[in-house]
Amino acid sequence: MSSVGHGVPCPIYLLDALAAPDYDRRMRIRSLRALFLAFLLALSAAPSVHAAKLYVVYASIGGTQAVGWVAREAGLFAKHGLDVEMLFTGGGRAVTSLLGGDTPIVTVGGPSAIAARLGGADIVLTAHIFDTILYSLMVAPEIKTVADLKGKKIGASRFGSATDFSLRYVLAHYGLDPVKDVTIFQIGGQAETLAALRAGSIHGGVIASPATAEAKRIGMKELVNMATLNVPYPQTAVATTERYLKQNRDTVVRFTRGYIDGIRRFRADREFSLRVIAKYTKISSRPTLEATYDDYAPYVKQKPTPTVQSVQTVLDQLSPSDPRARGARPREFIDPSVIEQLEKDGFFSEK
């Protein structure tokens, strides 16, 4: 490879052919000029673009985060010009990392983000990936009904997290006072909740697939599959700050494009999704992986518009303990403009 002006590489065969005396020079030079022009046009058209680095935190190691993993592993963020590094930070700490400036975008359960905004943070939900509760209340085998949990110890990941909200919602739904009738412990992640159940330190815990399969394997019982309640709820949401969205809107839009492409791949390519879930959860059991996929694929939203109904569910749950939630307007917690822009651009019509 030689070069032509400004250090632009030129194929050697073009230079050799121009110097060859044995060809019909008129036709040869004409064709080589055309070929050389095409070569230079191709060089000028090739983008000199480096993917922008973006650190994104996800809040749980479970099927509710699988779409983001699939998008990352399939190169779908890179397709939209982003080099996305996905980092795990459990429970409410994901929102803390966002507000602390450690990451500009997080994928979290809605309650922690909503509680943070009630506290004055400028966090907003820009997309709802799953819009209903997708946890299970797993209990020791001697627990037969929700009423049997009265006076018992139950685990959630962290206070204010999605598991904590879901647990309190389900207990109230079945007639128990989450404050007076049970003792809720802040356990940690899915693995810690499983360990506490196995050790008998707690009588019940809120977990999600694939951890539910492991809980059943060690003898625990699924007392409530919360998906069957059909409660509008921001189970997994994309969140950022209003400031970042205003200053870096194009980055948020491109990230959302990649994430939605991840939704499409997740729904369309079961085998690839199973491999990705296995990689991130460190699970090798085929039945467990299939159960995880089957638990979530039917619920992922193809057009993940954030909804006021889901936010209202959280505000209603927070109202008894937080007076600020009583008069809050759910529309203030979401910014659907990114999804609306993609819809206007025809992105959801693309195949």
Which pLDDT tens digit goes with each residue over 117-148? 999 999 999 999 999 999 999 999 999 999 99
198-219 pLDDT, tens digit per residue, is 999 999 999 988 889 889 989 9
In angstroms, what CA-CA distances link 317 with 56, 111, 137, 232, 258? Answer: 28, 10, 18, 12, 33
How sure is the predictor about 78, in pLDDT bands with cuts at 50, 70 and 90? Answer: very high
Q: Are residues 248 and 111 in the same domain?
A: yes
pLDDT surpassing 80 at residue 351: no
CATH number at residue 167: 3.40.190.10
Cite the DSSP H helix spans in the chain. Answer: 12-19, 25-45, 66-73, 93-99, 110-118, 162-173, 190-199, 211-217, 242-247, 249-268, 270-281, 286-296, 308-318, 323-326, 337-344
pLDDT of residue 90: 78
pLDDT surpassing 60 at residue 171: yes
* Parallel/antiparallel/unpaired status of strands 136-139 and 204-207: antiparallel
Q: Are residues 105 and 151 in the same domain?
A: no
Number of separate domains in the chain? 3
Q: Are residues 69 and 208 in the same domain?
A: no
Q: Are residues 255 and 338 in the same domain?
A: yes
What's the mean pLDDT in 211-231?
A: 93
Which region among 42-51, 57-66, 134-143, 332-341 has the lowest average model confidence (pLDDT)? Answer: 42-51
pLDDT surpassing 70 at residue 320: yes
pLDDT surpassing 60 at residue 39: no
How sure is the predictor about 12, in pLDDT bands with cuts at 50, 70 and 90? Answer: very low
299-319 pLDDT, tens digit per residue, is 999 999 999 999 999 999 899
End-of-domain residue from the set 229, 259, 293: 229
Q: Closest by alpha carbon to 190, among 232, 150, 162? A: 162
The two tokens of residue 340 are 């609306």
Which amino acid would we find at residue 37?
L
Q: Are residues 318 and 337 in the same domain?
A: yes
> Where is mean pLDDT largest: 92-96, 168-172, 331-335?
331-335
Give the CA diameter of the chain.
98
Q: What is the spatial distance between Cα 164 and Cα 295, in angstroms, rounded to a whole number?
A: 20
End-of-domain residue from the set 183, 203, 229: 229
In angstroms, what CA-CA distances link 165 with 106, 109, 110, 198? Answer: 18, 10, 10, 23
pLDDT of residue 158: 85
How sure is the predictor about 321, in pLDDT bands with cuts at 50, 70 and 90? Answer: confident
Unique residue bearing structure tokens 């207990």:
171
The two tokens of residue 86 are 């996905």
Q: Closest by alpha carbon to 184, among 195, 174, 196, 175? A: 196
pLDDT surpassing 50 at residue 29: no
Q: Are residues 66 and 93 in the same domain?
A: yes
Q: What is the domain extent for residue 309?
A: 52-132+234-349
Q: What is the spatial distance between Cα 250 and Cα 286, in angstroms, rounded to a whole number?
A: 39
